[in-house]
Structure 1
Amino acid sequence: MSAQFSFHHLGLVVEDLDRAVGFYTDVLGMTRDGRTEWTVIEGEPLGIDAAEVELRWEFLKLGAVRLELHEFRNLPATSARRATQDPGLGHLALAVTDMDEAVAALVAGGVDFFSPVNLLTDSPGQEGDRWVYCRDPFGLTIELYETASPARRAAVAA
């Protein structure tokens, strides 16, 4: 393959841009990286069956990764929330250095978790790593992932 690709950003559609920006900055620690207020553009280039759509968006950063949040106005949306196993974006995975602290911060931010924190014991190279899934207030599944310390990795692998 001759084309060269690199990651630019991940786009998410949210119901309320201001609320979403607050969650992603206040609870997850992302930083703001540019906002466009309400504008009207053609729907076709976005894959939307409408002559024009009204939307606004904001870019956020977490390390080298950029997240773009879109809010559309006056467009119908499906009522069903996407399930983790549905084709498309399965989840957004965030590395954490202290799982217990991260879970506590998200619980305080109103996030519900699918289960308690899980410990990997039989995944080669990941022994001792911990993970947990939750859903943000806008329906996106988020995984928190904590890489094991060398001591914990050795203890679990033994």
Structure 2
Amino acid sequence: MTYPKTFSHIGISVPDLDQAVAFYEEVMGWYTIMKPTVVKEESDTAIGKMCIDVFGTGWGSFRIAHVSTGDKIGIEMFEFKNNEKPAEFEYWKTGTFHFCVQDPNIEELVEKIIAHGGKQRMPIREYYPDEKPFKMVYVEDPFGLVFEIYTHSYELTYSQGAY
């Protein structure tokens, strides 16, 4: 029997790990479970071997930190030496193009994101005007990572009759 799997974590690449950890702690309230540390390209440790398996060879080293959301979802942050911000928001390319967080006070969170160097990519909109009081917005962190904010859970937002 197939059962729904739970979500563990998502990995993001950032240009400045210390600034990213501070942003997500201060703005989102996420807490650090592993402070920034260096991972070196080597095959003597499990993490070194795993990273060679994933990235191949020639990357040298990178910095990594782990933070966690209020509902225990991990955010694994990587700072690679050759980090590049895409020239534009390439939503059409295969891969993850955003994640979503939930906050009933969407306006206040957007203001906080902007005050900490992020951007609001669109007006806050009602998902189902005149039907449900649910709102959403796309924003961007100070490093160019696009994410979405919902006022209500994913299940309530898309379910019919369960509100």
With the shorter chain as reference, the TM-score category is 0.7 to 0.9
Structure 1 residue 122, shift from structure 2 partner: 6.2
TM-score, normalised via structure 1 length: 0.77
Instruction: Give how far 1:128 is off.
Output: 2.2
Query: Structure 2 regions of 5+ residues with no counterpart?
Result: 43-50, 154-163
How large is the RMSD of aligned CA atoms in angstroms?
A: 2.7
Partner of 1:134: 139
SS at 2:91 equivalent: coil
**Does the 8 Å CA contact 2:41/2:52 hold for their aligned counterparts?**
no
1:98 matched to which residue of 2? 105
The alpha carbon displacement at 1:26 in A equals 1.0
Q: Which moved more, 1:14-23 or 1:107-116?
A: 107-116
1:143 and 2:153 matched: no
Report if aligned partners of 2:85, 2:144 keep a CA contact under 8 Å in 1.
no
CA distance in 1 between partners of 2:93 and 2:18 (Å): 27
Is the 8 Å Cα contact of residues 130 and 145 (structure 1) preserved in structure 2? Answer: yes
Q: What corresponds to 1:87 in structure 2? A: 94
Contact persistence 2:12–2:77 (CA under 8 A): yes
- Report the CA distance shift for 1:40/1:65 in structure 2 as closer, same or farther (over 3 A): same
Q: CA deviation at 1:135?
A: 1.1
Matched-pair contact (CA < 8 Å) for 1:12–1:67? yes
Q: Percent identity?
A: 26
Aligned to 1:156: none
Does structure 1 conserve the Cα–Cα contact (< 8 Å) formed by 2:13 and 2:83? no
Distance 1:81 1:138, change over 3 A: farther
Which structure 1 residue ranges, 5 or more long, are not aligned?
149-158
